[in-house]
Homo-oligomer: A and B are copies of this chain.
Amino acid sequence: MQPVLIAGEWRDADATGEFQAENPSTREALPDVYPVSSWADCDAALDSAAEAFAAMQEMSGDQIAAFLEAFADAIEANAEALVDMAFLETALPKSPRLADVELPRTTGQLRQAAAAARDGSWRQPTIDQANNIRSCYNGMGPVCVFGPNNFPFAFGSASGGDFAAAIAAGNPVIAKANSSHPGTTRIFAELAKQAADATGMPAGTVQLIYRTNHTVGLQLVGDSRMGATGYTGSQGAGLRLKAAADEAGKPIYLELSSINPVVFLPQVIEQKWQDLAEEFAGSCLMGTGQFCTNPGMVLLVEGETTESFIEEITQRFDGAAVGTLLSGSVERSLAESHEVLSGAGAEVLCGTGAGSGTGYCQANTLFRVSATKFLHDPETLQTEAFGNSSLVVVAKDVDQAAEVLGSLEGNLTGCIYSAEDGSDDEAYDALAPVLRQKVGRLLNDKMPTGVAVSPAMNHGGPFPATGHPGFTAVGIPAAVIRFAALHSYDNVRDHRLPEILRESYSGPAQRNVC
């Protein structure tokens, strides 16, 4: 059985069970056996993390940056092992996806986080000279990261965006591996531990457990030693963790579900429906649809060309190769969502049912429903079908399309395509304000599947897309603030202040002096 990483040591877990990952391409179990950790493992990790946190609060941003950069270097030096393991565990293509897209994104994030740690940009130092009150953001405490199944590198528990943001803010991380890629997470934790040791970080900076039972997981996020939790994954498990964290008054940042509505307005459909069909089907089936921002709903207005567009995307879905899904659980969940949508009256345009591959898969699936029927049961019909699947909603007119958007829950993204000549502008003006309030990122004329690591990105949105519409999981320094506490210093003697607030500070941070 694989050991866990606690207090700087790879040691035997206090295991209450065990599990193996599967190769999604073959549906067969992979050889490594991983432990289900008891509370004793979590308790030990929390103690070590609390100790590491105290030490990290006294460290310079430079030292934390050095760790993140050494880790990024180590990832690059071990790219092949990571790509091989992630391919085995997730069936995501080695190239370009894992090796050429996700890995550079991951090291890029870590280096951006390092830059933020170094320049203090996320700390927002504020100095009120008249009152001698100063404030800045500091770390918040140990952060537990539950990474999702679909980005084993860029959102991985011991390597991804939450990890980088938590460390940049001076917090140790307790990584809870995603059960579908424990081996990948283990390699990251090994590299992180080596980088931490080499750069003089405390033992509890990065710790790894693989799995716990529900009760232990809830206890973990609500523990008094915990600072905050970052969770990306299924809504069911996420809501249980949220309830436990909320009750304990601990911040928890969630990314739970999103159908990412895309609206094609009548004139743009009229003008270039074939191009749009290609763009949409490509975005929707890319990566077998397993992106947080995958367009799971298309909203159209009735019309002759609309029917041609729907026929075109149906053909494209039907004709496209069927990709492998990340796991048996994704396959089951997708099949269940299809049943829910069918049961609520959505008509099958193509697909539903097992795909023809040897791995986990479902046929590329397209549903259709009238807006009238959608509005009859919007809650059920906006069920997320995570995978290579989408729902076409056809409204009688723009007013009814606005009603559909008004009935949506919170989403990460929302997109409106409109004619370049302005002929859709009236419709745009009717729909965009409604959609704006439902999403974190509003797009024009562009599919939502790309999520640039940009300071202007919002990979967030109203509940249940996330837990709080003021925060983003992607984009630095904004993502770092999630794991920071606001600390005010009132009449505190100068030499006792954090360096960034002292009179003598001459570092790179822009300070707000008033």
Contact = CB atoms under 8 A, between A and B. Distances in A.
A296 interface: no
B492 A126 contact: no
Given A140-B469, A470-B484, A490-B442, A452 B249 contact: no
A265 to B, nearest CB: 13
Interface in A456-470: 456-458, 460, 462-464, 467-470
B137 A441 contact: no
Given A137-B470, A433-B57, A457 B492 contact: no
Interface in A109-150: 126-128, 131, 133-135, 137-138, 140-141
Given A251-B470, A468-B251, A452 B489 contact: no
A54 interface: yes
A432 interface: yes
Contacts of A481: 470
Given A444-B490, A446-B491, A470-B482, 13 more contacts: A57-B433, A126-B456, A128-B455, A128-B457, A137-B470, A243-B247, A246-B246, A249-B462, A251-B468, A440-B488, A442-B489, A444-B493, A446-B490
B490 A441 contact: yes
Question: For the complex formed by this chain, how many copies does it contain in all?
Answer: 2
23 contacts: A54-B433, A128-B454, A133-B452, A134-B456, A135-B478, A140-B470, A243-B247, A249-B462, A249-B464, A249-B467, A428-B496, A432-B496, A441-B488, A441-B490, A442-B487, A443-B491, A444-B490, A446-B491, A460-B486, A469-B486, A470-B482, A470-B485, A478-B486
Interface in A499-514: 512, 514
Contacts of A54: 433
A248 interface: yes
A133 B451 CA distance: 10
